[in-house]
Amino acid sequence: MFSLVFGKFFLLFRNLILSISVIFLLFTASALAQQSEIKLGMVLEPPHLDPTAGAAAAIDEITYLNIFEGLTKIDANGAVLPSLATSWEISDDNLTYIFKLKEGVKFHDGSKFDAEDVVFTFERAMAEDSVNAQKGIFSIIEEVRAIDDMSVAITLKNPSGDFLFNIGRGDAVIVAKESADNNKVNPIGTGPFKFVRWDRGSRVILEAYENYKGDAVSLKRAEFVFISDPNTAISAMLAGDLDGFPMFPAPESLEIFANDDRFKVVVGTTEGETILATNNKRAPFNDIRVRQAIAHAIDRKAIIDGAMFGYGTPIGSHFAPHHPYYVDKVDIYPFDLEKARQLLAEAGYPNGFKATIKLPPPSYARRGGQIIASQLREIGIELELINVEWAQWLDEVFSKKDYDLTIVSHVEPFDIGIYANPDYYFQFDNEDFQALMQQLNRTTNDDARRALAIYAQDFLARHAVNGYLFQLAKTGVWRANIEGMWANAPVEGNDLSTIRFVD
Amino acid sequence: MFGSILRRILIFAITIFVASLVIFLLLDILPGDPARFILGINADIEAVAALREQMGLNLPIWERFWHWFFGLLRADLGISVTQNVPVAELIGERLFVSLPLAFFALILAIIIGIPIGIIAAQNRAKFIDSFLMILAQIGIAIPNFWFGMLLVLLFSVKLSLLPTGDFISWNEDFAAALRSLILPSIALALPQAAILARIMRTSLVDISNADFIRTARAKGLTKKQAIWRHGVRNAILPIMTILGLQFAFLIAGTVIVENVFYLPGLGKLIFIAISERDLILVRGAIIILILIVSFIMMLVDIAYQLIDPRLRLRG
């Protein structure tokens, strides 16, 4: 009796094992054949999928250039290229832009793309009740007018040198009147990929759009899978459940992949200037000598090695090193403890002082904060470390300006203009700089803009408004046979149209 | 007995009301402006003000509470401010992952834990008893997320037998969905099984000294027979309380394990909603959890009265 039951059980068990292995074989076989499908990992899940109604980077990382396109687009190196506008003319006073639109483009729901959609998109973003996170891009627009079906005139209130760049960003993608309200859950754009499904909490699935007007794409299907735990990200890559992780969350583990032939590790740059932001209105930081002392006491290399495992480029001002206007200002206040102590003494703090530093969750802040605290202790500044979560940081530091120091990465491209706003949380109120930024905004000649931007970088570095630490690196891992993935992140996005598998 | 059940239901209703009031007030004093959070640090002040108005954040707190509470009575939990989707729908989707996961884990825990507890109790103070209890102690001490990571390394990375997580929705691929719940269920079940084993053993050992067991032995039953016929039924009582608590924990307290296996469970939904300041979603999810947990506790209490004649008389 017993052996009979056991025998049956054994048979059952054996069959189970067999069927599992068969299923497994089927899975691997199909995985090998599908070279036109890609699964990419992302750390954060977007709250919704409408890039014109939120600041979350994850929205752009899925939708920008894939589902949605703007009049212009930003390529992997940060250059402005035509997109839904095939060409444009700028009036002599630099105020009016006339865009010629791409012919024959259809939205994913089949509706036709024309000048009406462009006018609708811009007027929606400019409206009083607009919740576009970058209203600033649109506030300088005086009027948007359809000249005919396929051309649009945009008139600005004053000349703007980075207008063409700004309208290429995710916040300015073109949406259709019929579908705009639903874009948060069912995004409908003109891009090479259309939205298929969002399994909340796990993935977003896109599929190649058959009527796309533009260069042919190699991928047929793409999945963005949300994995927040760094250890899980490593396992998922090693187990082959993912094809790539464009922004890998664990720089300390990149060695695992660098030494594995199946993968490649690609280190690029982002727009993230990571700074020791300083409350310029609060004593003793309102004294430039104190800020200079801090600048002299910071050892950037130690911070990059300790907090970022060596990934990151030192910066001396608020400017991205890959930008064509960049100049290296790291040596304006070189690491020099003697000089730092002397400046502190001149400012009236020969024995240093006590202050607080509020640290948001990213590891560059939490780990970087500990290193900076130990570096500033060398010159007598005792920092109390206060960990805050993002919502708290936004409330206390950003809105109420209740802080001494904090560490944060400013990820907007070409955002040097924030220093001209005296109400911005650094509270840097300097009329010369404000005038300089006004002049820069009105200048459209490239050489003149370069000269002004260089002057501005020098200005901020010399005033030591903030401690300038490093440019955040973009560390990605993907299969060795994938090509065309963005190495840098000049804007937030993962352009799927250029990605392909090679043999 | 009917009266006591009615009283228990009344307590349930009061619990829900008080809990909803407390949740509302607590979430309201959290620092951080949801509108500012959604739009990010470089957003315009005007845009933030426009969104605050849209979200109804400028109304007085009591008005907002009653609005929410009456919505709750009509099973309307509001619309998530970050995702623009009804909260009930978001929670519903997650329950399709969290409930099966909790259920599998609990079944596994019972299958493993209860027999170990009984075997240990029957072999009290012998080698096998100590051995099993040391094992249980280790089971309790191992954090389940770490155990989960070990399982992933072995079964996914080394043996390539099971996915690292990668939950696919039930209607798309039922078998794949089931496969991706296997490792997390095991990871969650281990500590629960260990707890069950220890409680089962203690409870049986206590009972084997009780008067009614001695009476049963006096009737001529062997020690084993006495424990099987009279002891186990009584020892189940504390186990039921523990099972109720464990089920509640397994539904919502598993955010770390959900993270390890990137499962779209309820714990992760709440965790992300809190960090994004989606207060309507947090409120809705927490009140649903309180409903589930209070309901299970009520069922346990009622079942207690059915099983334990002493409580029945008192009631």
Per-residue pLDDT tens digits for A296-305: 999 999 999 9
Chain B residues whose beta carbon lies within 8 Å of the beta carbon of residue A201: 93-94, 97, 263-265, 268-269
Position A450 scores a pLDDT of 92
pLDDT above 80 (res B308): no
pLDDT above 90 (res A206): yes
Say if the Cβ atoms of A235 and B157 lie within 8 Å: yes
Q: What is the rounded distance in angstroms from the CA atom of residue B32 to the CA atom of residue B40?
A: 12
Position A472 scores a pLDDT of 92
| Residue B86 in contact with partner chain A when CB distance is under 8 A | no
Which of A229, A402, A407 is best to mutate for the B interface (most B CBs within 10 A)?
Answer: A229
- Asked if residues A148 and A115 have their Cβ atoms less than 8 Å apart, the reply is yes
Chain B residues whose beta carbon lies within 8 Å of the beta carbon of residue A180: none
Q: What is the rounded distance in angstroms from the CA atom of residue B185 to the CA atom of residue B265?
A: 13
By mean pLDDT, which of A40-44, B232-236, B295-299 is the weakest? B232-236
The three-class DSSP label of residue B27 is helix
Position B210 scores a pLDDT of 81
The three-class DSSP label of residue A250 is coil
Which among B41, B44, B259 is the nearest to A136, CB-wise? B44
pLDDT mean over A143-156: 95
Provide, rounded to the nearest whole percent, the portion of chain B with pLDDT above 90.
17
Q: How many CB atoms lie within 10 A of CB B211?
A: 7
By mean pLDDT, which of A490-499, B200-209, B248-257 is the weakest? B248-257
Position B313 scores a pLDDT of 52
- Asked if residues A86 and A102 have their Cβ atoms less than 8 Å apart, the reply is yes
- Asked if residues A278 and A405 have their Cβ atoms less than 8 Å apart, the reply is yes
- Asked if residues B65 and B24 have their Cβ atoms less than 8 Å apart, the reply is yes
Which of A21, A124, A196, A231 is best to mutate for the B interface (most B CBs within 10 A)?
Answer: A231
- Asked if residues B133 and B120 have their Cβ atoms less than 8 Å apart, the reply is yes
Chain A residues whose beta carbon lies within 8 Å of the beta carbon of residue B34: 391
pLDDT above 90 (res A10): no
Chain B residues whose beta carbon lies within 8 Å of the beta carbon of residue A418: 42
Q: What is the pLDDT of residues B136-159, one digit of tens each?
A: 999 889 888 889 889 999 998 888
| Residue A128 in contact with partner chain B when CB distance is under 8 A | yes
Q: What is the pLDDT of residues A347-400, one digit of tens each?
A: 999 999 999 999 998 889 999 999 999 999 999 999 999 999 887 888 889 888
Q: Which residue of A has its CA nearest to B80?
A: A47
Q: What is the rounded distance in angstroms from the CA atom of residue A488 to the CA atom of residue A249?
A: 15
* Cα–Cα separations (whole angstroms), residue A245 to A264, A324, B17, B180, B264: 11, 28, 45, 20, 19
Place of tokens 């499962």: B263
Provide ipTM, 2 decimals: 0.78
Say if the Cβ atoms of B262 and A225 lie within 8 Å: yes
Most confident among A182-186, A412-416, B164-168 (mean pLDDT) = A182-186
pLDDT mean over A235-262: 91
pLDDT above 80 (res A22): no
pLDDT mean over B165-193: 89
pLDDT above 50 (res A30): no
The three-class DSSP label of residue B164 is coil
Backbone angles phi and psi of A438, in degrees to 5? -60, -45
Position A431 scores a pLDDT of 95
Q: What is the pLDDT of residues B251-302, one digit of tens each?
A: 877 888 888 899 998 888 888 888 777 888 888 888 888 888 888 888 888 8
B62's enclosing H/E stretch is helix B61-73
Name the β-bridge partners of A152.
A99, A146
Q: Which residue of B has its CA nearest to A27?
A: B176
In A379-398, the residues whose Cβ lies within 8 Å of chain B are: 389-392, 394-396, 398
Position A460 scores a pLDDT of 96
- Asked if residues A50 and A59 have their Cβ atoms less than 8 Å apart, the reply is yes
The three-class DSSP label of residue A349 is coil
The three-class DSSP label of residue A454 is helix
For residue B140, give how far its alpha carbon lies from the nearest alpha carbon of chain A (Å). Answer: 23
For the record, the structure tokens of A487 come out as 């190495």
Position A458 scores a pLDDT of 96
Higher-confidence residue of A462 and B36: namely A462
Chain A residues whose beta carbon lies within 8 Å of the beta carbon of residue B171: none
Name the β-bridge partners of A357.
A385, A405
A52's enclosing H/E stretch is none
Q: What is the rounded distance in angstroms from the CA atom of residue A102 to the CA atom of residue A191?
A: 12
pLDDT above 50 (res A500): yes
Nearest to B104 by CA among B262, B215, B251: B251
pLDDT above 80 (res B92): yes
pLDDT mean over A267-271: 89
pLDDT mean over B310-315: 54
Q: Which residue of A has its CA nearest to B50?
A: A129
Nearest to A72 by CA among A97, A48, A46: A97
Q: What is the rounded distance in angstroms from the CA atom of residue A436 to the CA atom of residue A427?
A: 17
Longest dimension (CA), chain B: 85
Chain A residues whose beta carbon lies within 8 Å of the beta carbon of residue B90: 200
Three-state secondary structure along A358-418? Answer: EECCCHHHHHHHHHHHHHHHCCCCEEEEEECCHHHHHHHHHHCCCCCEEEEEECCCCCHHH
Chain B residues whose beta carbon lies within 8 Å of the beta carbon of residue A20: 161
Say if the Cβ atoms of B262 and A231 lie within 8 Å: no
Position B116 scores a pLDDT of 93
Give me the domains of chain A, ranges plus CATH numbers: 39-43+187-267+474-501 (3.40.190.10), 57-182 (3.90.76.10), 269-473 (3.10.105.10)
pLDDT above 50 (res A108): yes
Say if the Cβ atoms of A24 and B160 lie within 8 Å: yes
Which among A136, A139, A225 is the nearest to B166, CB-wise? A225
pLDDT above 70 (res A12): no
pLDDT band at residue A136 using 50, 70 and 90 as cut-offs:
confident
Position B54 scores a pLDDT of 76
pLDDT band at residue A3 using 50, 70 and 90 as cut-offs:
very low
pLDDT above 60 (res A7): no
Q: Which residue of B has its CA nearest to A135?
A: B44
- Asked if residues B213 and B206 have their Cβ atoms less than 8 Å apart, the reply is no
Average pLDDT in chain A: 89
pLDDT band at residue A94 using 50, 70 and 90 as cut-offs:
confident
| Residue B93 in contact with partner chain A when CB distance is under 8 A | yes
For residue B145, give how far its alpha carbon lies from the nearest alpha carbon of chain A (Å). Answer: 11
Q: What is the rounded distance in angstroms from the CA atom of residue B18 to the CA atom of residue B12?
A: 10
Higher-confidence residue of A248 and A13: namely A248
pLDDT mean over B114-127: 88
Q: What is the pLDDT of residues A46-87, one digit of tens each?
A: 888 999 987 778 999 999 999 999 999 998 878 899 999 999
pLDDT band at residue B310 using 50, 70 and 90 as cut-offs:
low
Q: Which residue of B has its CA nearest to A52?
A: B39
DSSP codes, A183-201: TTTS---SSSEEEEEEETT
For residue A169, give how far its alpha carbon lies from the nearest alpha carbon of chain B (Å). Answer: 14
Position A29 scores a pLDDT of 45
Q: What is the pLDDT of residues B75-91, one digit of tens each?
A: 888 888 777 789 998 99
Place of tokens 């799927």: A496
Say if the Cβ atoms of A235 and B163 lie within 8 Å: no
Average pLDDT in chain B: 84
Say if the Cβ atoms of B157 and A202 lie within 8 Å: no
Q: How many CB atoms lie within 10 A of CB B272?
A: 20
Which among A55, A199, A390 is the nearest to B264, CB-wise? A199
Higher-confidence residue of B190 and B75: namely B190
The three-class DSSP label of residue B166 is coil
- Asked if residues A100 and A87 have their Cβ atoms less than 8 Å apart, the reply is yes
pLDDT above 80 (res A451): yes
In A146-175, the residues whose Cβ lies within 8 Å of chain B are: none
pLDDT band at residue B211 using 50, 70 and 90 as cut-offs:
confident
Which among A201, A236, A241 is the nearest to B269, CB-wise? A201
Q: What is the rounded distance in angstroms from the CA atom of residue A353 to the CA atom of residue A334?
A: 22
Position A1 scores a pLDDT of 40
| Residue A2 in contact with partner chain B when CB distance is under 8 A | no
Strands (E) located in A22-79? 37-42, 72-74
A413-A414-A417 Cα angle (round to 5): 125
Q: What is the rounded distance in angstroms from the CA atom of residue B37 to the CA atom of residue B282?
A: 15
pLDDT mean over A207-231: 92
